[in-house]
DNA sequence: AAGGACACCAACCGCTGGATA
DNA sequence: TTATCCAGCGGTTGGTGTCCT
């Protein structure tokens, strides 16, 4: 059984902002050798950096195919739609935006889009109006813990158990675990219903204003591009057809039914439910997963 | 002009799954 | 078979610039 040497001495490599000189070394190295084993790059390129740091600098900043200008309305729309559909899977979303990295998309979401949604009175996690969200949480209290729902725990905010804990402390560990699972799944019922509430008739085009929202999303996107937005919408540049397939229920009518089916079987495990949802997402959004097999 | 608050984003951190010795 | 490494990923941090008082 062999052992590979560490990629670098973490305590002696440089951290922090990159200099133009360091960038030039990376660029020169990649131009001459291409992208290969990043752990060898610092040594071969003459850099006192960790290979991981070099890889990040290249993928997030130096790659020649990257855009460095601000996000367009079209890109913001795509981010919004895909986030609504699949949550914070930034790498998948970024694959739909040529020239953008997952870091770009993530930063733009965190600094701009999330705040814009909040200002519009829409929960950026569920994409549901806050008022409706509150009423749904009220409904949850009526159904817990009988009703269980599967969903993707990883890509949404953790549930606040503070109010539930007092009752949980009276249970034995197994009961408590089951009750927590029920709470989690009930929480994601709200999230999925929020998404499915955006559904409309199969023929209807998805509008750029958010589902179930009295606001017009385009009014809030990239402020200085408002006219561009209007023009794009008028001319049909925005991929409404694509949105129709992805947002028209985001395939969620189908998904909701599956979820309901799953939850009707109390023996179905939470993990199995999550896996089912991932499979459904793959079914609904095959284009998102294109290329995964290439890795 | 000073400095505190805020926004932005590059870079880092920590985790995971697959690869490797 | 197993321990470890690496690449990829999402979350978080910290430096810097801008705005506001």
Q: Is A20 exposed, middle or buried (0-12, 13-18, 19+ CB in 10 A)?
A: exposed
* A86/A54 same-domain check: no
Per-residue pLDDT of chain A (295 residues; tens, 9 = 90+): 334 445 566 667 888 888 888 888 888 888 888 877 888 888 888 888 888 888 888 888 888 888 888 888 888 888 888 888 888 889 888 888 888 888 888 888 888 888 888 878 888 888 888 777 777 766 656 554 433 333 333 333 333 333 333 333 334 444 444 444 444 444 444 334 433 333 333 322 223 333 333 345 565 555 444 434 333 333 333 333 333 333 333 333 333 333 333 333 333 344 454 455 556 655 665 555 444 333 2
* A234/A250 same-domain check: yes
* A38/A171 same-domain check: no
Find tokens 């309305």 and name the residue: A73
Residue A6 domain-assigned (yes or no):
no
Which residue minimizes Cα–C1' distance to C13?
A: A16
* A52/A124 same-domain check: no
Q: What is the pLDDT of residue A293?
A: 36
Counting the structural domains of chain A, the total is 2
Q: Which residues make beta-bridge pairs with A123?
A: A128
* A41/A171 same-domain check: no
* A203/A257 same-domain check: yes
Residue A110 CB lies within 7 Å of the nucleic strand C = yes
Residue A42 CB lies within 7 Å of the nucleic strand C = no
Which residue minimizes Cα–C1' distance to C2?
A: A1
Residue A139 CA, nucleotide C7 C1', distance (Å): 44
Residue A106 domain-assigned (yes or no):
yes
What is d(CA A102, CA A143) in angstroms, rounded to the nearest whole number?
38
Residue A71: left (phi > 0), alpha (psi -120 to 50), or beta? beta
* A56/A87 same-domain check: no
What is d(CA A205, CA A79) in angstroms, rounded to the nearest whole number?
18
* A78/A148 same-domain check: yes
Given A7, A37, A62, which residue is the final one in a domain? A62
Domain that holds residue A163: 69-288
- Output the domain CATH number for residue A27: 1.10.10
Residue A56 CB lies within 7 Å of the nucleic strand B = yes
């Amino acid at each position: 059984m062999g052992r590979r040497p560490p990629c670098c001495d973490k305590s002696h490599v440089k951290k922090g902002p990159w200099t133009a000189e360091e960038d030039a070394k990376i660029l020169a190295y990649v131009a001459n050798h291409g992208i290969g084993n990043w752990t060898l790059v610092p040594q071969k390129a003459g850099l006192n950096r960790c290979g991981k740091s070099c890889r990040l600098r290249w993928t997030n900043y130096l790659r020649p195919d990257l855009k460095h200008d601000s996000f367009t309305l079209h890109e913001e729309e795509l981010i919004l739609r895909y986030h609504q559909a699949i949550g914070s899977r930034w790498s998948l979303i970024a694959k739909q935006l040529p020239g953008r990295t997952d870091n770009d998309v993530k930063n733009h979401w965190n600094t701009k889009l999330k705040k814009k949604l909040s200002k519009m009175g829409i929960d950026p996690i569920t994409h549901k109006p806050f008022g409706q969200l509150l009423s749904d949480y009220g409904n949850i209290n009526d159904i817990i813990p009988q009703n269980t729902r599967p969903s993707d725990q990883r890509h949404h905010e953790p549930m606040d158990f503070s109010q539930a804990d007092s009752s949980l402390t009276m249970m034995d560990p197994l009961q408590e675990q089951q009750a927590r699972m029920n709470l989690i799944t009930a929480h994601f019922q709200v999230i999925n219903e929020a998404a499915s509430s955006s559904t409309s008739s199969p023929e209807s085009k998805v509008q750029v204003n958010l589902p179930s929202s009295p606001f017009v999303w385009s009014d809030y996107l990239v402020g200085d591009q408002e006219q561009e937005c209007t023009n794009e919408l008028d001319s049909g540049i925005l991929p409404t057809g694509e949105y129709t397939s992805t947002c028209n229920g985001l395939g969620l009518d189908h998904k909701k039914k599956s979820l309901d089916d799953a939850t009707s079987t109390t023996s179905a495990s939470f993990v199995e439910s999550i896996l089912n949802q991932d499979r459904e997402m793959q079914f609904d959004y095959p284009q998102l997963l294109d290329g995964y097999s290439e890795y």
